[in-house]
Structure 1
Amino acid sequence: MRPQWAPNKADTEASRLMDFTRWLVANRGLSISARGDYHALQEWSVDHLEEFWGAVVEYFEVTFASEPAAVIHGETMHRAEWFPGATLNYADRLNYGEDAAAAVIVETEAGRVTSHTYRELRSDVGALARYLRGAGVEKGDRVVGYLPNCYEGVVSLFAAASLGAVWSQAGMDYSAVAAANRLGQLEAKVLIVGTGYAFRGKVFDRNAECAQLRSRLASVEHTIVVPTLGTNYEVLDAVEWGDALAAGGAGDFVPVPVAFDHPLWVLFTSGTTGKPKGIVHGHGGVVVEQLKSLGLHFDLGPGEVFFWYTTPNWVMWNIQVSGLLLGATIVLYVGDPLYPDTARLWEVVDRHRVRLFGTSPAHLLATGGGGLELPRCGALRQIASTGSPLPSEANEWVRSQFGPRMPVFSTSGGTDIVGAFVCGNPITPVWDGEISAPALGVALEAWSEGGESITDTEGEMIITRPMPSMPVQLWGDDTGSRYLETYYSAFPGVWRQGDWITVTSRGTVIIHGRSDATLNRRGIRIGSAEIYEAVDVLPDVRDSIVVGIDLPDGGYWMPLFVVPSEQWDAARSPGSIVRAIGAHASKHYVPDDVIVAPAVPRTRTGKRMEVPVKRLLLGADLEALGALEVTDQPDALRWFARFREDGG
């Protein structure tokens, strides 16, 4: 079988990945036979972790204020210490961009475009940092945001980071309650809020939500308001964004050196029980992972334009912003990707001469089915896709529009490592429906239930050696017990990601979907716990269970099954459920279907059996699952098996 895309020799030789390979041959003793052989290079990067990650640092000229004593100390997965003794700052990489070069371009749904140079960005970051320092923000304090996708969010991240403070944010589509469930865990000193946003032609004034959020964050001492939708605001004792920058004034941009593993940000990912989980990443781990991923795998360099459609709730926002570490230009889009029609994002790609465009399988399929004539997109050289498995139809549509030379690099990684486990690269072919290879430095295998490495057979995604961007900790997990339970409990000593994969004989990887109960709609992890919080209090509902299903065509189906109470009204209750979930959490959490079921299967300890239900809906055999042995409600499981057999 031939690949559907293969790099030509000229493009291969011109890529940064090939230049890095030549550099390794000259400076690290890599065999010259590995030139042009990605799988040999990848194997070397895993077998020689210290040499590889040390080479990434040297090749990309990472500047340490204090030099490390070693690259890695200890290789026990969760206890590995990367670059011990080193100090640096994520924000220091802003100095890599040329003064007059565009750093951040923002385009709104209505077509309004603003552009900010690196000189402006560094100036604004420095001014906000000085304001925050004057407000008492010190190393380790938390600064949080409740913002739409905006330039001010980028400035806020870098300003907080430059002081050694910890950044976190929630998008404004979250309710005040849902945002507080995340940001309230951090006991932040400063809150930065917007006033609203526009989406699909409608205006959403969020002033009331901002005021409610502020009242729920008792630790906040200072609030800054960004006029993202008009200048009126309801948060008392707040300072307007322009006034905060003016108060910070002019001065040099000098980020504070911090330890390699000093917390940079907290990214929240929702689970099936309890509050959303806060994942903490360190400055150094993020820097080296992003230089590797964006610089080598996606061939991104200074002055090149990088656009990934995302929101502040998704890790791809942080990854796109990290394009600034390479001196690239990033494009932020504020609005619905399919409004007013499916050509909208392609118009953005064309207008801003985007070289690397990142999107989702759902967007590619929606565009392909729209029948619209797309703009030329003459500068485009790569399309990247993540969020769910990429079906072959999406690749075929891209080739029909842009010709056989346009690669689509499917990628899978995520919030946990703020990077990629598997992805494409400029020197490796693409087979439709598959991902080209594990990423550099990633020791990836598929394991059977018995813990054996398997090929050409579906198994659990396992990482067997440490990575610098693995979480420093989970927020509030002082003993580390939740961290170990999350990643290392299924197979002690190795990282279990929670995805079903197949590693093929040719080295490609096929992603089949989540192996656990995590909901992952278009790349945004959704906590079933927050759905249950909204639904379980409704008088119409006696019990409920929600699951997420990756569909063969690249879509995602998230049904909510409910056991009705005596107050259930078939005409009214489903709508009430949808409104309750949207108000409590976000529109992203609203199920695709509300389906009445006779009972919800639970374990003997009372836990909802989400994974067995998901497996049944995917066609698994009930008897082979072993789920009947752990429940007192076998008939409930049998109902879901029949529901699947009947075409539900």
Structure 2
Amino acid sequence: MTEQAAHPLWQPGAERIAKSHVTWLIGEVNSRFGTSLSNYADLHAWSVKNLSAFWDLVWDSCGVIGEKGAQRLIDADKMPGAQFFPDAKLNFAENLLRKTGSGEALVFRGEDKLEKRLTHDDLHALVSRLQQALKAEGVGVGDRVAAMMPNMPETIAIMLAATSLGAIFSSCSPDFGERGVLDRFGQIEPKVFFACDGYWYNGKRVSIADKLVEISKHLTTPSKLVVVPYLGEAAETAGRLDRGVDLDAFLTPFAAKAVTFERLPFNHPIYILFSSGTTGVPKCIVHGAGGTLLQHLKEHRYQCDLSPGDKLFYFTTCGWMMWNWLVSGLASELTLFLFDGSPFAPSPKVLFDYAQDEGFNVFGTSAKYIDSLHKEGLKPIETHDLSALRLITSTGSPLAPESFEYVYSGIKKDVHLASISGGTDIVSCFVLGDPTAPVWKGEIQAAGLGMAVDVWSEDGRPVKLERGELVCTRPFPSMPVMFWNDKDGAKYHAAYFDRFPNIWCHGDFAMWTEHGGLVILGRSDATLNPQGVRIGTAEIYAQVEQIPDVMESVAIGQDWDNDVRVVLFVRLREGTTLDEDLVRRIKTQIRVGASPRHVPAKIVQVTDIPRTRSGKITELAVREVVHGRPVKNTEALSNPEALDQYREVPDLLS
């Protein structure tokens, strides 16, 4: 449970509230429907009660390009089964490429100091040439195009070219191993595969030519493996690949012309995203054009309060759904700022240099990055001009209360801090920011508009100020269209609807606060159960992160003596050892800040903590290793070698 603060950390001024898109939307609803809504809570309640009218209003107010059709929502009582805009026709890329001209669309900065700037016309031209080249390879409606790429402008152009043709796009980052790539793209059988020739990370130049040679031997479906230049080795790398061609040669036959768009049904697939779990081959989660577009338009405009011309940055790789969220900013006519590489090379201030140089309005990142800045003692508030910055968003894992305080003391005082949470499953958010409301320490501000979010007890009863399961009780447009190779929908149904019939159960352990906000307490499948009491791992991390000597930690439940005991692994500041004094301080902090039941039975020092490639700590993999069970999908991890430290730990054998 979060420590209760007496005052909010931040509150928007009256002028900011009055000029917000949320305030405009409240007025529009009152005008159209004769309601008397007065604040965000009223608007949210109306939006989930009137799903058809709300999403119709999002379509209109955000200027969706397409044919809306006569119906807004059918089978609204079915999850899965509800259909939004069943008669609609649209094209995802057409909506993202709505703007033309000499204004900047994409700005890219790489760790190697490579910079690229593309105007909207530049982007159109590149998409046009890629579209023609893909079409020449036979790519059409329903075909898959896969990319193993950094977060650079070419990746966005490839996605837009593919989806303009009605093809389905899927991506991962170039640090994935051979097995990880084949586990993902081998399932979806792409017709064309794009990859870079390498990348930079933490000051190192990393060629992936050898890895691509091995991948090309087993990924047999693509007619072409297109190598995109980053290190300057594209032609050489392509020459080593069967069916290989470098990007320049792939595009040479085609001159830029007007991009064409294949308009398709609302739920036509555009993306395949992959679960990052370590319990088996990744699930292939298929997302539709209309639902993804509407959700992202709503989140950018109303939850983030963005307007055309604003500057949006998110630190993400192409293997995380926040990349998909970022690129949709083009549909709101935002300028997107891309970065590839380590956010700490050559120094921890590199992203704030970028923010200052370009005048970011939104700085999006992960909770882990904010915690790391805090531990580094970085204070951009004293060293950087962040006057243009209005919003900081954080996701990937729960943002600790101390990290909330750090943002306001160390980064910027007058900024809207929005901790957000949703996931790959919905390629968007369940809970996120409300630009008209105060920010309270440790709390996510609100459920998203149109999202009937609640917290339920184990017996399916809504609870307030109690821990429970995060659910969504009514349908929403960005529910997955399907899972790939799940013909009868059994895997899809089991993933979300088995726990509570006709209710989306997301798998997060959560709690409403007295302010109407939400706290995410960790993943349900990683919840600890000592003596039958459910404890969220995030509750433990929030206390441990307050101890300066602890850089990060991972908590699991170990089966022991016919019960479960809490075990905490800690990575310490360099030069620090886990002595009796530090163990006592950790246990005292957890006992006082959380409860005696949260105090670990064992604390063990490690030098590394396993993470998924999107940066999330993986309690499940650690738990499997501690219990002597195999981890089925180590390719989901960015540092699988870290697991060796958790095998047969002497302290855990007694």
TM-score range (shorter-chain normalised) is: 0.7 to 0.9
| Structure 1 residues 213 and 598: alpha-carbon distance in aligned structure 2, compared to 1, 3 A threshold | closer
Q: Given the superposition, is the C-alpha separation of residues 113 and 497 from structure 1 closer, same or farther in structure 2, using an over 3 Å criterion?
A: same
2:66 aligned counterpart, secondary structure: coil
Which of 10, 35, 39 is the aligned partner of 1:30?
35
- In 2, the alpha carbon distance for the partners of 1:587 and 1:433 equals 22
Secondary structure of the equivalent of 2:339? strand
Matches within 5 A, 1:117-136: 117-136=119-138
Distance 1:158 1:366, change over 3 A: same
Partner in structure 2 of residue 422 of structure 1: 431
Residue 276 in 1 paired to residue 277 in 2?
no
Distance 1:196 1:597 in 2: 33
Stretches of structure 2 that go unaligned for 5 or more consecutive residues are 1-5, 529-536, 546-550, 560-605, 633-647
After superposition, the Cα gap between the structure-2 partners of 1:184 and 1:29, relative to the gap in structure 1 and judged at 3 Å, is farther
Change in Cα spacing, 1:590 to 1:39, as seen in structure 2 (3 Å) is: closer
What displacement does 1:301 show?
Answer: 1.9
Contact between 1:94 and 1:122, CA under 8 Å: does it hold in 2? no
**Residues 1:219 and 2:221 are matched in the alignment:** yes
Do the aligned partners of residues 239 and 550 (structure 1) sit closer, same or farther apart at CA in structure 2, a change above 3 Å counting? farther
Task: Tell me if the contact between 2:521 and 2:538 (Cα under 8 Å) persists in the aligned partners.
Answer: no
Matched AA of 1:381 = R
Q: Which residue is equivalent to 1:205?
A: 207
By how many angstroms is 1:594 displaced? 11
Match of 1:458 among 453, 460, 467: 467
How far apart, CA to CA, are the structure 2 residues paired with 1:435 and 1:89?
Answer: 33
Q: Is the 8 A contact 2:22 2:40 kept in 1?
A: no
Out of 254, 263, 268, the residue aligned to residue 248 of structure 1 is: 254
1:329 aligns with one of 321, 331, 335 = 335
Q: Aligned pair 1:155/2:157, yes or no?
A: yes
Distance 1:72 1:104, change over 3 A: farther
**Whole-angstrom CA distance in 1 between matches of 2:521 and 2:108:** 35
Q: Tell me how far apart the structure 2 counterparts of residues 598 and 65 of structure 1 sit (CA, whole Å).
A: 52
| Paired position in structure 1 for 2:22 | 17
Decide whether aligned partners of structure 1 residues 191 and 341 sit closer, same or farther in structure 2, where only a CA change above 3 A counts. same
After superposition, the C-alpha distances for 1:182-239 in whole angstroms (9 at most, x for unaligned) are 0110111111111100000001100111121122111111121101212220223322
Q: TM-score, normalised to structure 2's length?
A: 0.81
TM superposition score normalised by structure 1: 0.81
Instruction: Give yes or no for contact 1:175–1:586 (8 Å, CA) kept in 2.
Output: no
From 88, 91, 104, the counterpart of 1:89: 91
The one of 187, 190, 200 aligned to 2:189: 187
Residue deviations 1:108-147 (CA, integer Å, cap 9, x gap):
1132221101111111111111111111111000110111
CA contact (8 A) 1:170 1:183 kept: no
Distance 2:290 2:249 in 1: 32
Alpha-carbon shift at residue 548 of structure 1 (Å): 9.8
Deviation per CA, 1:472-494, whole angstroms, max 9, x where unpaired?
00111110000010001111111
CA deviation map 1:342-372 (0-9, x unaligned): 2111111111111011112221122223234
Alpha-carbon offset, residue 588 of structure 1: 6.0
Check whether the contact 1:263–1:280 (CA below 8 A) recurs between aligned residues: yes
Partner of 1:236: 242
Query: Equivalences for 1:477-626 in 2 at 5 Å?
Result: 477-517=486-526, 551-552=541-542, 557-558=553-554, 600=627
Structure 2 residue identity aligned to 1:489:
D
Rate the CA distance shift 1:601–1:334 in 2: closer, same or farther, 3 A: closer
CA distances 1:354-405 after superposition (whole Å, capped 9, x unpaired): 1011112221122223234521122111101111111222222222245532
Q: Which residue in 2 is equivalent to 1:49? A: 51
- 2:359 corresponds to which residue? 353
CA contact (8 A) 1:94 1:118 kept: no
- Equivalence for 1:291: 297
Structure 1 position 362 matched with structure 2 position 368: yes
The amino acid across from 2:366 in the alignment is S
**Within 1, Cα distance between the matches of 2:617 and 2:226?**
31
Matched, 1:313 2:342: no
RMSD between superposed Cα atoms in Å: 3.1
Measured after TM superposition, the shift of residue 339 of structure 1 is: 1.8
**8 Å contact from structure 1 (residues 28, 51) kept in 2:** no
Counterpart of 2:414 in 1: which secondary structure? coil
Distance change >3 Å, CA 548–CA 365, structure 1 → 2: closer
Does the 8 A contact of 1:307 with 1:330 survive in 2? yes
Please tell me whether the aligned partners of residues 17 and 296 of structure 1 are also in contact (alpha carbons under 8 angstroms): yes
Instruction: For residue 549 of structure 1, report the CA deviation from its aligned partner.
Output: 9.2
C-alpha distance in structure 1 between counterparts of 2:372 and 2:625, whole Å: 35
> How far is 1:304 from its partner?
1.0
